[in-house]
Chains A and B, each alone.
Chain A
Amino acid sequence: MSKTKKSNIGHYEVLFIVPNRFTEEEAKQVITAVEGVITKNNGEIDYREYWGKKKLAYEIKHNAYGYYALAEFNANKEAVALINQELRLSNDVIRHQIISKHIKSAEEIAKAKVIQEKINARKKEEAKELKEKNEKEENDNKKEKNEKEEIKTDKKSNAKELEQKLEGILNAKDLI
């Protein structure tokens, strides 16, 4: 293997499930024990998350429920392998998964920010367009309504005239 100066330390994330046979307090003790395993292998934990008791999507070793916990840590490859093995052999953890996580550099964060701003601007424009469209439609609807009313009034006046004419004709017939 070529000797590169790139550091061997990576950023990892481990999610693990503590079985339901423990109470909540005992589960927390188990979680601290797991974190102890990580720190023992020269891992630096920089983020912790406790999800609490959750229903599993399927039973694992006859456990329908489990306590989920998450930890992010920095460690080198060999340490991760050791942590993985210890967790696998442990009876207090029914399932775990270690995933290497990419840390965003300052450039990437800046890029993401620019993109987010663009998205926000576009959303604003779209909202504006929608508003204008709705207003236009409302105006059109109002116009149509007014026109319809005018026609109605016309019809009414026509009807009145017709009635008057009819009456006149009827009266004339009576005279005959």
Chain B
Amino acid sequence: MKNQKTKECHFCVNNLEVDYKDVRTLRKFINFYMKILPGKRTGVCAWHQRKLATAVKRARVMALLAATHK
């Protein structure tokens, strides 16, 4: 109910691809504790949410994103 305005898939609407190197966009889909936000909250479609989850995990492996907040 809170984010009813943003209930459109960010990647479908803007014709973007999920990239694990693009930390700036990934940052939008994780919370303060660096946890991946659920699709319900992000409004991303299921197909892109799956890509997003793997992208965040890949970014974590390459130390582009932290796994936890300090």
Asked whether, in the complex, the Cβ of B66 is within 8 Å of the Cβ of A57, the reply is yes
B14 CB contacts on chain A under 8 angstroms: 119
B61 CB contacts on chain A under 8 angstroms: 95, 97
Complex-state Cα separation, A17 to B61, whole angstroms: 11
Complex-state Cα separation, A95 to B15, whole angstroms: 31
Q: Which residue in B13, B15, B21 is a CB contact (below 8 Å) of A15?
A: B21
B58 CB contacts on chain A under 8 angstroms: 97, 99
A47 CB contacts on chain B under 8 angstroms: none
Chain B CB within 8 A of A66 CB:
yes
Count of chain A residues with a beta carbon within 8 Å of a chain B beta carbon: 16
Asked whether, in the complex, the Cβ of A115 is within 8 Å of the Cβ of B15, the reply is yes
B64 CB contacts on chain A under 8 angstroms: 57
* Distance in Å: Cβ of B17 to nearest Cβ of chain A: 9
Considering the complex, give the chain A residue whose CB is closest to the CB of B68: A58
Give the contact-size bracket for chain B: 10 to 19
If the complex has contacts A116-B15, A119-B15, are A58 and B62 also in contact, measured as CB distance less than 8 A?
no
Within 8 A of A (CB), among B37-67: 58, 60-67
Chain A, residues 79-104, CB within 8 Å of chain B (1/0): the string is 00000000000000001010100000
If the complex has contacts A15-B21, A99-B58, are A66 and B63 also in contact, measured as CB distance less than 8 A?
yes
Chain B CB within 8 A of A56 CB:
yes
Chain B, residues 9-33, CB within 8 Å of chain A (1/0): the string is 0000111000011000000000000
Asked whether, in the complex, the Cβ of A58 is within 8 Å of the Cβ of B67, the reply is yes
Considering the complex, give the chain A residue whose CB is closest to the CB of B65: A57
Chain B CB within 8 A of A169 CB:
no
Complex-state Cα separation, A70 to B67, whole angstroms: 22
Considering the complex, give the chain A residue whose CB is closest to the CB of B23: A57
